[in-house]
Amino acid sequence: QVQLEESGGGLVQAGGSLRLSCAFSGSIFRATAMAWYRQVLGKQRALVARIGTTGSTNYADFVKGRFTISRDNAKNTAYLQMNSLKPEDTAAYYCQANWAGAYYWGKGTVVTVSS
């Protein structure tokens, strides 16, 4: 059973940085595509960034140039480095794993950016 645990959220001032981590267990991490989503209360969950098993990445337009997704297969962990944070980045951030055609979610970590 795939399990995901996010960490690294918190309160930061606009212009600051945070790094989110997603610890993965229960399957073969290197064979699993990973993604970060975010959700604001009352709105749909939105894709932030995705990283494939080969390391290929893609990003939502609203984070391009500011956020970087990465993975460390030796540590079974995916990361989201967030720089130049804006108040509109305030959201709950969720890690998603795509393995063997199934999707798994973590419980999320909250990021709050103050102006």
pLDDT digits (tens, 9 = 90+) for 9-23: 999 999 999 999 999
Q: What's CA 18's distance to the chain center, in Å?
A: 11
78 vs 101, more confident: 78
Asked if 34 and 50 count as a contact pair (C-beta separation under 8 A), the reply is: yes
Calpha distance 48→65 (Å, rounded): 12
pLDDT digits (tens, 9 = 90+) for 19-69: 999 999 999 999 999 999 999 989 999 999 999 999 999 999 999 999 999
pLDDT at 106: 98
DSSP state of 55: S
pLDDT at 65: 96
pLDDT at 105: 98
